[in-house]
Every structure is written in structure tokens, then in C-alpha cells.
Amino acid sequence: MFKPGKTKTGYENWRVYLHPRVIGMLFFGFSAGLPLLLVGGTFTAWLRDLGVELAAIGFLSWVGIAHSIKVLWAPVVDRIPLPWLTRILGRRRAWMIAAQTAVGISLIGMALTDPMQHLWLVAVWAVVAAFGSATQDVAIDAYRVEAVAQHRQAAMAATYVTGYRIALLAAGAGALHIAAVGNWSLAYGAMGLFMCTGIITTLITGEPEVFINNQTAELEESLTRYLSETRDSGIKRHITAWFISAVICPFADFFKRHGKASAAILLFVALFRISDIFMGVMANPFYLDLGFTKTEIANIAAAFGLAMTLFGAAMGGLLVARFGIGIMLLFTSFMAPATNLTFAWLATIGPEIYGLVFAIIADNITGGLAISVFLAYLSSLTNTAYTATQYALLSSLMTLPGQFAGGFTGLLAEQTGWTGFFLITAAAGIPAIILALVLIKIAHPDRGHRPGMAG
């Protein structure tokens, strides 16, 4: 296996993207990204276009909360087999195909239902799609972690992000174009059929092999001893056994493996993307306030920005394979908030196209690089015996603090002005830089291998 620091040619670096499972993650990313806007921004556009009241649209936006609370049922995905499907496909692929099928059927159900006549039924289909989408995320994340070795994780993340972003274009601009030339039912029906991409990929891919290490085996044996000594019996005994195995063990395993570094790791995960999230919430209002036109924003910030993000994500996969996770984690911890300074500079020069292009290049390449490296890092923290639960916990922790605090960014921008706002968001990344230095010293990301790591 390649070790960080060993010299590799450019061609050998790029070969990481030729691994079959790395290629397959492109299609899994598409399947994961497709439902997001269809129960979010595109969904609200459809309802408003039909004249649904804003109050109803606001309430229906709550269906998207499923992605923020997926950790609550991740233990079920980790531990409970699906009748017939798990025996044939394996635990990960069984949950993936069940979730993908649920999303596809619910999107077609939305297409066949008139919101003006049966808004409640459209809401039911949307809830099914949202929970199916969140469940698919849990299963695909677990598969991605288990399917390949640690040095390929950033490449898996890069192709996943690429597929995900392509799906966002399809579910956003694509669905809007279909609705414009046809109707919304046609648009949602087409999106439902596009879910076949994920279903076909799931059927032709292989189930990842998972190995239980000695430490995990000892933890599971302690559960067996506890159950042999308890007075519980019948259904209560079975429920207790499942809860300890599916919920308690994943958290106990995480803190046991990472020891004193656990608190620093969790704090770092919570803070790593906070400056990016702050920036993202206010990006479009900033561009408009500065005087850029909607067309300029769409062409440069959206389309060109997407290309730069995908380029950065691809580079992340190469650089982690070349240098390892540790050094790249430190680099992106510094660069992610530092690029916010380019927007502070843009605020001082006004609506200059060259300034916007430079800021988008700096921010989006760094952002794509950071997400590839960080997803590889999250993967390295998990034990494949409990992948779904542990990864769902980490991925929720990655976004929730920033999303909550992001609600106050408008007030901050009003009080400080745009230049001051971006200086503050850049400074918000300093704790993550300090924590990255601490973690490299006490819990180096490239030291050893995660339990159950595949080849």
C-alpha cells in the first residue's frame, strides 16, 4: 500500500481514479444528490409556481430536516437486516437499494399528484422521499468508508462530490427546464426515473468486506457477558441487546479507540467547516448588494464556481494519495478560512468581474479540496463494525453547529459591513487550525489504520 511521502509520478497519482469502486462512487454521488433539491428548492419553486400559499410552502420545507437527524436511525441501518434483500445483496447494498427505490417511487408519486387538489398527499410523498434520501446517505456513506483503503478515501470523496454536484444541476436547472417546456409532473417523473442510476450501480457493485478487529471483538464479548448475567428475558432481552450493540457500542468504541483525543476530534469536526458555512449563507446577498447582475452571478459564481469546486475535489483525492491526510488536513484548515479574505478584498473594489473570478477560483478550489480531504478524515475515524452510526454522527456534527450559527450571519453583516463580515468569518477558522496542529501531534490521521479497513 502506498505510504505518504513516497514519490509517485503524475500518471500513478491519477490512477487512483481508475479503481472500479472509485468510479462507481460517481454514480452513487449522483443518486445521493438528486433528491435533495427535489424536496427542497425545486419543490418550493414548483409549489409557488402553482400558486400555493407561502405559509404552506414554509411548513413543507421542514421535510428536509430528515438529513439533519439521520443519526437517529443510523443504528437501524447498521444493525438490522432487511428481509430477503440483506441475504441476497448484503447489509449495505440492501439498505441502499431499498432507499433508492423508495425515493424513486415517491418522486413518481409526486409527479402523479396534483398539489392544488391533494397537497397533503404531495407532502406525504415528499416526506417519504426525504427520509429515503437521508437513509440512502447513511448507507452510501458507510459503503464508501468500507469499500476501499484509507489512502483512496479522498478519491472516493472527490468522485462522490462530482456526482452529487451533477445531480444538483439536474434536479435544479434540469428540472426547471423540463417544467418550462413541459410541466412539473413531467419534470418529477423524469427525476424519479433518474434514480435508476443508483439502483443499477448498487446491483452491479460488490458488497464491501468488513473485518472485526480484536478490540471490537472484545467490546462485543462484553455485551454477551452482560446479557448472560442479566435477569431480562424475552422481548426485553432482545431490545436491550440491540440497543447496546447498535447504539451504545458505536459510541463506546469511538471513545475507547481515540481516548483523550476524542474531545479534540469532535470539536475539530464541528469547527472545521464553520467559516465556509458562514460564507455560503451570505454569498448571494453579498454579490447582489455589491452590484453584480443575476446573470453574472449565475455564470461565474454558480457555473464557473461548480467547475472550480470539482477541480478542487479531484485535486484533493490526488494530494491525499500523495501526501497523506494529516498534512492536507492542516493545509485545508488554513486555506479554507484564508480564502474568505478574497471576498473582503472584493468588497473594497466593488463589482469588478476580475475580482469575482479571482475570489471564486480561490474559494471554490479550496472548498472542493477541503471537502475531499475532510471526508477522507471522517472515514479514517470510523470502525467498519459501526460505520453507519459513527459516520452519521460525524457528518451531522460537521454541519449542524455551522448551520445553527449561520442563522445569525445576516445580523453580523448588517452590523459590521461586508468587509468586516468576511474578516470575522476568516478569523472563525483559527480554532480549527489550532486543533489540526494539536491532532497531528496527539492523534495523527495517518498513524495506523482504521479498524476493518479494506484494500
Highest mean pLDDT among 100-114, 140-154, 171-185, 226-240: 100-114
Cβ(247)–Cβ(392) under 8 Å? Answer: no
Highest mean pLDDT among 30-44, 54-68, 120-134, 201-215: 120-134
Which of 3-12, 71-80, 146-155, 404-413 is predicted with the least confidence, judged by mean pLDDT? 3-12
Give the separation between CA 351 and CA 360, rounded to whole angstroms. 13
Q: Under CATH, which number does the domain 10-204 receive?
A: 1.20.1250.20
What's residue 282's pLDDT? 78
Q: pLDDT category, 58, cuts 50, 70, 90?
A: low
Pick the closest to residue 39 from 263, 191, 264, 254 (CA basis): 191
Cβ(424)–Cβ(282) under 8 Å? Answer: no
Give the separation between CA 237 and CA 222, rounded to whole angstroms. 15
Q: pLDDT category, 226, cuts 50, 70, 90?
A: low
CA atoms within 13 A on the CB side of 125: 23
What's residue 70's pLDDT? 84
CATH class of 259-442: mainly alpha
Predicted confidence (pLDDT) at residue 384 exceeds the cutoff of 50: yes
DSSP state of 73: T
Span 120-143, average pLDDT: 91
Q: In this prediction, what percent of the chain has a pLDDT beyond 90? A: 35
What would the pLDDT profile of 66-117 be if each residue is shown by its tens digit? 777 788 888 888 888 899 999 999 989 999 999 999 999 999 999 999 888 8
Span 336-364, average pLDDT: 95
Give the separation between CA 286 and CA 279, rounded to whole angstroms. 10
Count the helices and strands in the chain (H runs, E runs).
25, 0
Burial 52-68 (b: 16+ CB within 10 A, else e): beeeeeeebbebbebbe
Predicted confidence (pLDDT) at residue 7 exceeds the cutoff of 60: no
Q: pLDDT category, 211, cuts 50, 70, 90?
A: low
